[in-house]
């Protein structure tokens, strides 16, 4: 199944089912008003949602309407919990080499993960408002999963059954603010602004053979201001999402509606490009002695899309602009 959230003026929007080709949508809020509700009560609402999804794809619903990715928010406009990993080891190795950092002990055996802000996700066509270009504005192409309730101590094998949906996102990062926060050991706050998501969240079966071992085995194509930037492959993820879920749930229960990200998609093969500017700059530092590529400026656009193995639309595309969002705080 494929889901989106229609903007309706409320904080959590209204649940839509979207056809497999992303051409049509139908209201599903009578079954589950929001995606959060659907995930919380998945076993109760799944059959009704799937029946309507099948009817939508068969073209038998009179109330279906053309799907517009500009009319939707992030599939989950806010999350109880947003955890992001760093599971493409080639990305970390590049950063270590470029900045002469010591290797992180045990990174091959224990996932890296931090707790991000899940209260304000951005839609796929919405502007990204930020306070200053001097903060080093960067995009990061990632995949993510959305879970139902996960019990404490859940194993990786058990965790596969708790992955309800797969998503694709732009984890916006402010690189000039990151070094200090990394040194404190307390995690990111200022360096991670609101992330944006592709318009559609999909059940794992929609990926077909591209969903294996808890990984999305598809390239993620990135364009910056209309120019190709990279198409790294998600299959290179060192830890599968089921392993990330188990890692997060080792000492606590995960609430239904927990989002877990893969970290920047990265491949050891440099010919496929990168999914973030920071990685390209690291390569330039290694090969040329200094970075040649600047970070994003206000007015820049980024586009991200992963298609299925046959080249058909899957999550839809993120296509958005960075804009000045500096505003005085109301007294």
Separation in Å, CA 254 to CA 5, 75, 159? 23, 19, 11
Tokens of 137: 């504005």
Average the pLDDT over 12-29 and give the result: 98
Backbone torsions φ then ψ of 201, nearest 5 degrees: -100, 140
Percent of the chain at pLDDT above 70?
98
| 183 has a pLDDT exceeding 80 | no
**Among the listed ranges 28-32, 90-94, 187-191, which one has the minimum average pLDDT value?**
187-191
Following CA atoms 248, 252, 254, 260 in sequence, which dihedral angle do they give, to the nearest 10 degrees? -10
**What local confidence, expressed as pLDDT, does residue 189 receive?**
80
**What local confidence, expressed as pLDDT, does residue 182 receive?**
77
CATH class (in words) of the domain with range 81-324: alpha beta
25 and 8 Cβ atoms separated by less than 8 Å: no
Average the pLDDT over 259-274 and give the result: 97
DSSP states of 108-175: TTS--EEEE--S--B-TTS-EEES-GGGTEE-BEEEEEEES-B-TT--HHHHGGGEEEEEEEE--EET
Give the torsion sign (CA, 36, 39, 40, 44).
Answer: positive
The string of pLDDT tens digits covering residues 126-181 is: 999 999 999 999 999 999 999 999 999 999 999 999 999 999 999 999 998 887 87
Following CA atoms 221, 224, 228, 230 in sequence, which dihedral angle do they give, to the nearest 10 degrees? -50
260 and 83 Cβ atoms separated by less than 8 Å: yes
Please enumerate in sequence order all residues whose Cβ is within 8 A of that of 70, keeping only pairs 6 or more positions apart, or say none. 125
Query: Rounded to an integer, what distance in angstroms lies between the CA atom of residue 274 and that of residue 264?
Result: 9
**What local confidence, expressed as pLDDT, does residue 97 receive?**
85
Task: Tell me the residue length of the chain.
Answer: 331
Query: Rounded to an integer, what distance in angstroms lies between the CA atom of residue 8 and that of residue 17?
Result: 15
The string of pLDDT tens digits covering residues 220-251 is: 999 999 999 999 999 999 999 999 999 999 99
137 and 324 Cβ atoms separated by less than 8 Å: no
What pTM was estimated for this model as a whole? Answer: 0.96
154 and 248 Cβ atoms separated by less than 8 Å: no
| 100 has a pLDDT exceeding 80 | no
Q: Which of 34, 28, 69, 68 is nearest to 50 (CA)?
A: 28
The structural domains of the chain, with segments of one domain joined by +, span: 2-71, 81-324
């Amino acid at each position: 199944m494929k889901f989106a959230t229609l903007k309706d003026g409320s904080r959590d929007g209204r649940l839509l089912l979207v056809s497999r080709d992303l051409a049509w949508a139908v209201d599903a809020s009578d079954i589950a008003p929001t995606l959060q509700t659907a995930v919380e009560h998945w076993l109760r609402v799944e059959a009704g949602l799937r029946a309507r999804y099948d009817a939508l794809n068969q073209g038998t619903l009179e109330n279906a309407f053309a799907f517009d990715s500009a009319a939707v928010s992030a599939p989950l406009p806010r999350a109880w919990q947003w955890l992001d990993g760093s599971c493409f080891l080639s990305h970390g190795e590049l950063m270590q080499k470029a900045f002469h950092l010591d290797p992180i002990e045990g990174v091959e055996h224990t996932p890296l993960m931090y707790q991000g802000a899940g209260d304000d996700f951005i839609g796929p066509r919405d502007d990204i408002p930020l306070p200053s270009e001097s903060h080093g504005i960067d995009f990061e192409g990632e995949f993510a999963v959305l879970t139902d309730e996960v019990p404490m101590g859940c194993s990786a094998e058990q965790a596969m059954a708790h992955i309800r949906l797969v998503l694709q996102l732009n984890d916006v990062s402010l690189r000039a603010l990151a070094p200090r926060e990394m040194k404190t050991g307390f995690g990111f706050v200022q360096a991670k602004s609101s992330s944006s998501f592709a318009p559609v969240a999909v059940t794992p079966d929609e990926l077909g053979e591209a969903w294996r071992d808890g990984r999305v085995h598809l390239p993620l194509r990135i364009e910056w201001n209309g120019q190709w930037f990279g198409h790294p492959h998600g299959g290179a993820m060192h830890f599968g999402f089921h392993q990330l879920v188990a890692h997060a749930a080792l000492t606590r229960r995960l609430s239904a509606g927990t989002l877990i990200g893969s970290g920047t998609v990265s491949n050891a093969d440099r010919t496929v490009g990168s999914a973030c500017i920071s990685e390209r700059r690291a390569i330039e530092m290694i090969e040329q002695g200094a970075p040649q590529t600047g970070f994003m400026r206000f007015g820049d656009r980024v586009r991200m899309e992963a298609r299925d193995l046959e080249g058909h639309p899957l999550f839809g595309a993120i296509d958005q602009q960075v804009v000045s969002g500096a505003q005085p705080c109301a007294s």
